[in-house]
Structure 1
Amino acid sequence: MWWASQRVTWVPSYAALLVVLGRSFGRRAWVLVPLIAVLILASDQLASGLLKPWVLRLRPSHEPGLASQLHLLHGYRGGLYGFVSSHAANAFALAFYLLFTARHRLPWLAWVLLPWATLVAYSRLYLGVHYPSDVLVPLLLSLPLAYGTSRLYAGAVARWFPILPTRSAVET
């Protein structure tokens, strides 16, 4: 679970995902991929920039009554506050965004990304740095963020990459 929670662990998977998206979406990937960066930025800021400082709920690893009962791997305790999990928010936002935008071209992708996001979220619980609600709430919050970003993608693609009529349709 330690490795599942480390962002650098997933770099080869992210690189493979970029290759798959580039090959499947062609020029449209130039819209799809930057919107992933926008989505992750929005998701991360919602979790770490807004909700954590607003709610101020201690992580289990920092809770005086719980900390001594937890088995913390490598002494990792995370930051002071944990509601909501940025790891879970970002993972679910990416998974849902690609589910909404790539489900027709890459129907198998959801079967890879949703279990991956679930593993990342579970690893945060396992490591003792989040409560269950810390990973369930971002799952729900990521849905409208991902859907809205997928609508931005659809609008941008319709504007910049319109489907042109075929020659036979023009002649008839």
Structure 2
Amino acid sequence: METLLSNLLHWDESLFHLLNGVWTHPVLDEVMPWWRDKKTWIPLYAVLAGFAIYRFRLRGLYFILGVVLTVGVADTVSSKVMKPTFERLRPCNNTELPFEVEQRGGCGGGYSFTSSHATNHLAIAWFIALTLGATYKWLRWPLVLWAISIAYGQVYVGVHYPLDVLVGGCIGSLIGWGLSSAFNASPKLNLQNVNV
């Protein structure tokens, strides 16, 4: 079991080196620090919230509360449960790696496993895709691809390993799916029950 874990971590570090230090491009060097910054997406969240309230009135407000709950659960699981349990150093803080980490932006404090960005964004994407996206089906895959690109950005800028974002993304996806299922199960909340 110890050998399996050691091999998995070695594979993870090797893939990190490829994504962070080899398979790079000057355009991505400039774009990714901005793209993965949560402040970049505040206008998108504001437009989405405004649209939900305009289109669905009280149900739109419940939808926004559902998104907030989804982020709260996802962030708690990643930041308060996973990171303190595993205490894995971020690659940008790990001085024992056999290669230099390309840091594109700040390193951040705390631990690496799991990526809260990946957990939170995949949770948001799936919650919205399976609630609002049930009415506006064209939203589904762009939302999921958007969240995956942010998760990838975490590796590219040097703050997380691929396994951090993969596991975080899976956990976030499960949270988004679970909470959207609960939301959709209520006739008073389900956005499909509203005539578009």
Instruction: Name the TM tier (shorter chain).
Output: 0.7 to 0.9
Aligned to 2:145: 115
Contact 1:84 1:138 in 2 (8 A): yes
Q: Please provide the CA RMSD for this pair.
A: 2.2
- In 1, Cα distance between the equivalents of 2:131 and 2:177? 9
Contact 2:59 2:188 in 1 (8 A): no
Name the stretch that deviates more: 112-121 or 145-154.
145-154
Q: How many residues align?
A: 161
Write the deviation string for residues 138-159 of structure 1: whole angstroms up to 9, x where unpaired: 2211222112211331244448
Measured after TM superposition, the shift of residue 77 of structure 1 is 1.3
- In 2, Cα distance between the equivalents of 1:30 and 1:85? 28
How high is the sequence identity, in percent, across the aligned residues? 32
Q: Secondary structure at the residue paired with 1:66?
A: coil
| CA 108–20 in structure 1, closer or farther in 2 if over 3 Å, else same | farther
Contact 2:183 2:189 in 1 (8 A): no
Aligned to 2:71: 40
Alignment of 1:128 with 2:161, yes or no, is no
Write the deviation string for residues 91-142 of structure 1: whole angstroms up to 9, x where unpaired: 0000001111123311111132112101110110001110101111122112
Q: Name structure 2 gaps, 5 residues minimum.
A: 1-31
Superposition TM-score, scaled by structure 1 size: 0.84
- In 2, Cα distance between the equivalents of 1:159 and 1:30? 10
- In 1, Cα distance between the equivalents of 2:75 and 2:147? 15
Aligned to 1:59: 90
Q: Secondary structure at the residue paired with 2:137?
A: coil
- In 2, Cα distance between the equivalents of 1:160 and 1:8? 29
Aligned to 1:139: 169
Runs of 4+ residues deviating >4 angstroms: none
Superposition TM-score, scaled by structure 2 size: 0.75
Write the deviation string for residues 28-85 of structure 1: whole angstroms up to 9, x where unpaired: 11211101111101100100001000001111111112386012124x1122410000
